[in-house]
Amino acid sequence: MAETILVRVGGMDRPGITAGLMKVLAAEGVELYDVEQVVVRGRLALGLLIAVPEGRSTIKNLLFHAWQAGLDIDFEVVEDAPPERGVETVVTVIGPGVGPAAFGAVAQAIADAGGNIERISRLSRYPVVSYEIGVRGGDPVRIRADLSAVAVDHGVDVAVQPEGLTRRAKRLVVLDVDSTLVQDEVIDLLAAEAGVEAEVAEITARAMAGELDFAEALAERVRRLAGLDELALERVRRRIRLTPGARTFIRTLQRMGMKTAIVSGGFSVFVDRIAEDLGVDRAVANELEIEGGRLTGRIIGPVVDRERKAAILREVAAEQGIPLDQVVAVGDGANDVEMLATAGLGVAFNAKPAARDAADTSLSVPYLDAILFLLGVRRDEVDESEPVPVDGLPPV
């Protein structure tokens, strides 16, 4: 009769360790149930679950092999059990730094909700620190709620997603532009050129207070831009700043074979240029009317409001034959709420409360490429496909 034994092996990692152990096990005719291995700072931790037939000298031979190889090894007889379920929930922790207090609070929240941590892997050390935690069991609703409180208390972002093919098979990313893909609100830059900053800011405040809807507020603000010439538009175009990590984010998505789209309540005269610069597959924004080289203060065609943003997301997904659960949407404001709710994964990026409430998860770090970590992409995978860094600095 066979005994089920858990073998734990440790030591400095080097090529051939796993192969040597497997050679011993094969010679003994044991059955291999499971194996897991991780290397942390060059030190190996390897676990093997095996069935040892009665009368075999497996333990003795493993001990001798480990002694020869300079490895630490121990054994534990375990009860036979049905195969365990795999990881059901993935928790991603992201922050400028993730210390023991924050990590401990995350682990405690998972345990309090009945979850068990099955694996932990580091995704990045820069521009932010991030970890992915695989959790089995527990109440996902409670895990999400408790980790939201942990995130606030410890200044980290925590995302909770169901594990499965859908999470790993995202195929389309749709982004807002102002204060998401770029750092600026372009309407404010235009208002500065026209000398109507205070008026535009007052209209924006009224819209945020619910006194005006988006289309009304946009029309009121654009009307005050009448007379701006194309030289002013070019000055604004040169002042627009991409969000840190934007190029890396888009470039990595493209190398992963994913489609990208930007959908903006801003203006096509700027958004189209950004899309061309980044190589984005589709761009939709409001069109400013220009006559005789100057803005008329009017918009041509339908306004890109919150409903139209969601409709465009669905349209692009349908054109590409991509199910909505394989779409990621990223935005920061109330105008993005429907879009965030429509996508399989809605990410609120440095967002206002309305967007955070509608999204599946939120990020408060200033780097757009941190969204890659929510998709399970590791920083070293990004760097392998990035251009050579300048002056020894990591690409951003």
Torsions phi, psi of 119, nearest 5? -155, 155
Q: Where are the domains of the chain?
A: 3-77, 89-163, 172-185+242-384
Chain-centre distance of CA 154, in angstroms?
Answer: 19
Question: Coil, helix or strand for 341?
Answer: helix
Cβ atoms 278, 249 nearer than 8 A? no
Task: Write the pLDDT tens digit of every residue in 218-253.
Answer: 999 999 999 999 999 999 999 999 999 999 999 999
Which residues share a beta bridge with 3?
52
Torsions phi, psi of 302, nearest 5? -70, 145
Q: Which segments of the chain have a pLDDT < 70?
A: 1, 80-87, 209-210, 385-396
Chain-centre distance of CA 31, in angstroms?
Answer: 39
Residue 204 pLDDT: 85
Task: Write the pLDDT tens digit of every residue in 194-211.
Answer: 999 999 999 988 877 668
The model's pTM is 0.84
Burial 194-227, CB ≥16 within 10 A → b, else e:
bebeeebeebbeebeeeebebbebbebbbbbbee
Query: 172-185+242-384 adopts what CATH topology?
Result: Rossmann fold (3.40.50)
Tokens for 274, please give them: 């950004």
DSSP type of residue 229? B
The one-letter amino acid code at 315 reads: E
Tokens for 201, please give them: 């800011």
| Residue 138 backbone zone (phi > 0: left; psi -120 to 50: alpha; other: beta) | left
Q: Do domains 3-77 and 89-163 have the same CATH topology?
A: yes
What is the second-level CATH architecture of the domain 3-77? 2-Layer Sandwich (3.30)
Residue 39 pLDDT: 87
Residue 87 pLDDT: 67
Residue 168 pLDDT: 77
Residue 392 pLDDT: 43
Q: What does the alpha-carbon distance between residue 220 and residue 200 come to, in Å, rounded to a whole number?
A: 8
Tokens for 120, please give them: 């932990």
CATH 3.40.50.1000 fits 89-163, yes or no: no
Cβ atoms 252, 277 nearer than 8 A? no
Residue 390 pLDDT: 44
Residue 3 pLDDT: 86
Q: What does the alpha-carbon distance between residue 22 and residue 7 come to, in Å, rounded to a whole number?
A: 12
Residue 164 pLDDT: 78
Which residues share a beta bridge with 12?
43
Look at residues 342, 336, 362 and name the one whose alpha carbon lies nearest to residue 350: 362
- Alpha-carbon separation of residue 288 from 172, 193, 273 (angstroms): 28, 16, 14
- Alpha-carbon separation of residue 389 from 45, 128, 394, 395 (angstroms): 33, 17, 6, 5
Burial 95-119, CB ≥16 within 10 A → b, else e:
beebeeebbebbbebbeebebebbe
The catalytic residue positions are 176, 178
Residue 391 pLDDT: 42
Which residues share a beta bridge with 46?
9, 37
Residue 396 pLDDT: 45
Q: What does the alpha-carbon distance between residue 350 and residue 358 come to, in Å, rounded to a whole number?
A: 13
